[in-house]
Amino acid sequence: MGKSSTTKDAQALFQSLRSAYSATPTNLKIIDLYVMFAVFTALIQVVYMAVVGSFPFNSFLSGVLSCVGTAVLAICLRIQVNKENKEFKDLPPERAFADFVLCNLVLHLVIMNFLG
Amino acid sequence: MANLCITSLIFLSFLPIICLSFSPENPTDRRILVLLDDFALKSSHSIFFKALQNRGFELDFKLADDRQINLQRYGQYMYDGLVLFAPNTERFGGSLDLADVLDFVDSGHDLILSADVNASDLIRNIAAECGVDFDEDPSAMVIDHTNYAVSDTEGDHTLIASDDFVQSDVMLGSAKMEAPVLFKGIGHSLNSANNLAMKVLGASPSAYSANPKSKLSNPPSLTGSAISLVSVVQARNNARILIAGSLDMFSNRLFKSGVQKAGSSNKYEKSGNEQFVTELSKWVFHERGHLKAVNIRHHKVGETDEPAIYRINDDLEYSVEIFEWSGTNWEPYVSNDVQVQFYMMSPYVLKTLSTNQKGLYYTSFKVPDVYGVFQFKVEYHRLGYTSLSLAKQIPVRPFRHNEYERFITTAFPYYGASFSTMAGFFIFSFIYLYSK
């Protein structure tokens, strides 16, 4: 009785989360996908480092930090372009995207220098 | 003008002496001052002195209280070795004193010192400064009631036959000592604070040091194998000192006398004294056991020039040539225990050198993964040989930044991740901009 009710509750929770998320605008969904891609790449590198050791440590740091940085910048973009977020309602989404691109350029410049 | 003539005459008369003197290239002593209590010793010990002269030494005999004794003139030593056969002398003649004898040794010259019963304080003090303490009782002798030499006349067992030699071919020669050595004189002990002094001829465990003429009322202060009969010292500057407690053991009488140890049926026609004293004097006067190291080289594997600096993890080769002085020329020294250290505060590398049996010692090793100022060190101290302490400084630097590999295979996933996030950024930007 108890077990089936927990399963049912969890199912209901996922159901409601999914229906709520399906209402999210497409541009935010694209950002989410992008963040997931970055986090997944970072995880692969951490596992790889655990297997082969930390020898080119600068390369490892730049590889992971490029993913983490990308994810952080994408989340910042998501906060700024979200219509429901009243804090940035004066900030046009074009401006937010331009900031995002500029920060990414700086990030990758640093990463390229630190990689080798 | 007359002055000039005299000066040049003096110079010319000294020239052969100057040419023959002790030098690093020719380490055998040449000129020896012999100080005697009595010129009678010259004939009673003539075999010993003759043997020295036959080996090419110039002996200068003087009475110990001669007023003309001078070890040095114009700051130059006139002798390379000193033989002190004057056990009873309280004061040397001339300006020579205890400090002068010690300075003579400190400047790398050799000394043979023989004390005897009733040795004077001066002789005892010289010995004490060398790390050897003679029995304080002036009339004490070494007595041994089980290992004495069988003799017709003497019944107090002070003429002892010892065969407790130091086990060293370089000191006593490669020929085995067959007969025991006859000894009649005073015993000494080695000062435990002096680790350079060592016993060459020891007494048997049943020996003791006491006055043979009086009754033994107190236990003797020196007993058994603590008694040393003959000791040597090799100072840190490789000066060699021989200290014996018996003047008689150098005498013609004991050289020629037969020897039979009490309780043993072996009777030897001739005592071991001559062989023992001759071989030991060869050692003391640097005719044997004197090493030199030359041609210390090191270079990277595959190169021949010596670099001014090494990089960490370089492979290098080190070689040194070691020769031993045979009395007339330098011969290759053969051994398998010469080691080199690559040293910075502590040895990072310690390797035994291989040898080609012709005096060349070589090895190769990898510079450790540590940078700093290192030294190649060879510290070679072996019983009877002069010590070798070689140190050569060499700095070791880390990799220059352009000496690392440009791309490291292990890091390829990281490169891939960085570029894929970059590519991801472009794709994301396009999709984001055109997905309206």
Q: Is A36 within the bounds of a domain? A: yes
Q: Domain residues for A89?
A: 25-115
Across the interface, which of A30, A108, A116 has its CB nearest the CB of B406? A116
Q: Is A103 within the bounds of a domain? A: yes
Contact A66 B425 (CB under 8 A): no
At residue A106, the pLDDT reads 96
Across the interface, which of A44, A59, A67 has its CB nearest the CB of B411? A59
Q: Is A2 within the bounds of a domain? A: no
Residues in chain B: 436
Across the interface, which of A53, A59, A112 has its CB nearest the CB of B414? A59
Residues ≥6 apart with Cβ < 8 Å to B387: B234, B236, B238, B379, B380, B381
Contact A64/B at CB under 8 A: yes
**B421 CA: distance to closest CA in chain A (Å):** 6
**pLDDT tens digits, B216-227:** 888 888 888 899
Q: A46: part of which helix (H) or strand (E)?
A: helix A26-52
Residue B108, CA distances (Å) to A76, B114, B228, B293 in order: 83, 19, 24, 18
Task: Report whether CATH 1.25.40 matches the domain B20-284.
Answer: no
Phi, psi of B177, rounded to the nearest 5 degrees: -75, 115
ipTM of the complex: 0.91
CB B191 within 8 A of CB B243: no
Mutation target to probe the A interface, by most A beta carbons within 10 A, among B402, B406, B418, B433 is B418
Q: Is A6 within the bounds of a domain? A: no
Which chain A residues are within 8 Å of B435, Cβ to Cβ? 26-27, 30
Q: Is A1 within the bounds of a domain? A: no
Q: Of B184, B206, B207, B186, nearest to B137 (Cα)? A: B186
- Integer Cα distance of B335 and B151 in angstroms: 44
Contacts from B297-306 at CB under 8 Å and sequence distance 24+?
B298/B376, B298/B392, B298/B394, B301/B364
CB B227 within 8 A of CB B187: yes
Q: A10: part of which helix (H) or strand (E)?
A: helix A2-22
Contact A27/B at CB under 8 A: yes
User: Where is average pLDDT lowest: A14-18, A62-66, B208-212?
Assistant: B208-212
Give the residue from chain A lying closest to B436, CA to CA. A27
Q: Judged by CB atoms within 8 Å, which residues 79-98 of A form the interface with B?
A: 97
CB B380 within 8 A of CB B360: no
Contact A74/B at CB under 8 A: yes
At residue B46, the pLDDT reads 92
The CATH number of B290-401 is which of 2.40.50.100, 2.70.180.20, 3.30.465.10, 2.60.40.1930?
2.60.40.1930
Confidence band of A60 (pLDDT split at 50, 70, 90):
very high
User: What is the DSSP secondary structure assignment for residue A44, as one 8-state letter?
Assistant: H
Ranges of chain B with pLDDT below 50: 16-19
Which chain B residues are within 8 Å of A26, Cβ to Cβ? 435
At residue A111, the pLDDT reads 94
Tell whether the model's pLDDT for residue A2 goes beyond 70.
no
Residue type, A31: I
Which chain B residues are within 8 Å of A60, Cβ to Cβ? 411, 414
Give the residue from chain A lying closest to B435, CA to CA. A27
Pairing of strands B290-300, B207-210: unpaired
Residue B87, CA distances (Å) to A60, B41, B109, B220, B230 in order: 83, 12, 20, 23, 15
At residue B216, the pLDDT reads 82
Residues ≥6 apart with Cβ < 8 Å to B278: B48, B51
Contact B422 A55 (CB under 8 A): no
Contact B415 A59 (CB under 8 A): yes
Mutation target to probe the B interface, by most B beta carbons within 10 A, among A72, A111, A114 is A111
Give the residue from chain B lying closest to A105, CA to CA. B422
Domain count along chain A: 1
Which chain A residues are within 8 Å of B401, Cβ to Cβ? none
Confidence band of A64 (pLDDT split at 50, 70, 90):
very high
Across the interface, which of B410, B421, B432 has its CB nearest the CB of A38? B421
Contact B410 A55 (CB under 8 A): yes
A to B CB pairs, distance under 8 Å: 73
Contact A56 B418 (CB under 8 A): no
Q: Is A13 within the bounds of a domain? A: no
For chain B, the structural domain boundaries read 20-284, 290-401, 405-434
**A37 CA: distance to closest CA in chain B (Å):** 8
Contact B428 A34 (CB under 8 A): yes
Contact B414 A60 (CB under 8 A): yes
Three-class HEC string of chain B: CHHHHHHHHHHHHHHHHHHHCCECCECCCCEEEEEECCCHHHHHCHHHHHHHHHCCCEEEEEECCCCCCCCEECCEECCCEEEEECCCCCCCCCCCCHHHHHHHHHCCCEEEEECCCCCCHHHHHHHHHCCEEECCCCCCEEEECCCEECCCCCCCCCCEEECEECCCHHHHCCCCCCCCEEECCCCEEECCCCCCEEEEEECCCCEEEECCCCCCCCCCCCEHHHCEEEEEEECCCCCEEEEECCCHHHCHHHHHCCEEECCCCCEECCCCHHHHHHHHHHHHCCCCCEEEEEEEEEEECCCCCCCCCEECCCEEEEEEEEEEECCCCEEECCCCCCEEEEEECEEEEEEECEECCCCEEEEEEECCCCCEEEEEEEEECCCCCCCEEEEEEEEEECCCHHHCCCCCHHHHHHHHHHHHHHHHHHHHHHHHHHCC
Domains B20-284 and B290-401 are alike in CATH topology: no
Question: Among positive and negative, which fits the CA dihedral B156, B245, B90, B140?
Answer: negative
Contact A114/B at CB under 8 A: no
Q: Which residues of B touch A (CB under 8 A)?
A: 406-408, 410-411, 413-415, 417-418, 420-422, 424-425, 428-429, 431-433, 435
User: What is the DSSP secondary structure assignment for residue A56, as one 8-state letter?
Assistant: S
- Integer Cα distance of B71 and B82 in angstroms: 9
Contact A59 B422 (CB under 8 A): no
CB B362 within 8 A of CB B149: no
- Integer Cα distance of B402 and A65 in angstroms: 25
Phi, psi of B297, rounded to the nearest 5 degrees: -130, 150
